[in-house]
Structure 1
Amino acid sequence: MRIGELADQAGVSVRSLRYYEQQGLLDSTRTPGGQRIYEEGAVERVQLIQQLYAAGLPSHAIVDLLPCVSTGMVTGSMYDKIRHERDAIDQRIRELAAARDKLDGVIEHVLRVGIHHDGQ
């Protein structure tokens, strides 16, 4: 599929796809006219890259982890990196849950005492 199709199907910009290629996260072949062509699983790969970025992983960590996803083969050091990144995500989840719980407390308080309107 061509770059515009992949961008549409994966829900990302063409610019993002070019960046992913520059970072070594995504591969394409070129037509004789120089247009990028992506393989069948590119949509799923781009979505995974997006999820990993959203989880806070830097591109260099994603580059290290993607071969595990593609091949299913994992070395001991790759496994350690995967576990480390998962642990870091778990920590961020705990921190976000704590922040949400504090906001819930503020919301409960506001509902008990009422909302004060500006200018009144």
Structure 2
Amino acid sequence: MRIGELSDRAGVSVRALRYYEEQGLLTAERSASGQRHYGEPAVDRVQLIQHLYAAGLTSRTVADLLPCVDAKVNTPESRALLASERDRINTQIAQLTAARDRLDAVIAFSEGPSSGCTYQMA
């Protein structure tokens, strides 16, 4: 399939696909005229890349993990990398939860009877 079809089927922009190629995350065959052609597995690969990006992984981290994914190998290094990313995400979740709780307190205070006081963030 050509790049436009892959873009449509995977739900990403053509520009994103070109970026993935630049980063070594995605490969394409080239026709004699230089057009990119992708195999059917490219759709799944692009969706995996998107999931990893959505989880907050960098393109460098994704590039480090994809060879293990391609080889269907689970190494101690790849497990450690994934555990580290999971810990980073858990830290972000805790920080976001705390921020949400503070916002809820501000909202609750502002919906109460007006006493002329302002809320002090702890």
TM-score normalised over the length of structure 1: 0.81
Gaps of 5+ in 1: 115-120
Amino acid in structure 1 at the alignment position of 2:60: H
Per the alignment, in what secondary structure is the counterpart of residue 112 of structure 2?
helix
Q: CA RMSD in A?
A: 1.8
1:32 shift after superposition: 2.1
Equivalent position of 1:47 in the other structure: 47
Does residue 20 in structure 1 map to residue 20 in structure 2? yes
CA-to-aligned-CA distance 1:28-65 (integer Å, 9 cap, x gap): 11122211111212222212222322332221111011
* Identical counterparts, % of pairs: 56
TM-score normalised over the length of structure 2: 0.80
Equivalent position of 2:38 in the other structure: 38
Gaps of 5+ in 2: 115-122
Seen in structure 2, the aligned counterparts of structure 1 residues 81 and 98 have a Cα distance that, compared at 3 Å, is same
Equivalent position of 1:117 in the other structure: none
| Cα distance in structure 1, aligned partners of 2:21 and 2:12 | 14
Q: Which runs of 4+ in 1 moved over 6 A?
A: none
Equivalent position of 1:87 in the other structure: 87
Per the alignment, in what secondary structure is the counterpart of residue 52 of structure 2?
helix
| Cα distance in structure 1, aligned partners of 2:27 and 2:14 | 14
| Superposition map of 1:1-120 within 5 A | 1-113=1-113
Higher Cα Rg, which structure: 2
CA-to-aligned-CA distance 1:65-108 (integer Å, 9 cap, x gap): 12233332022222211211121122112212222222222222
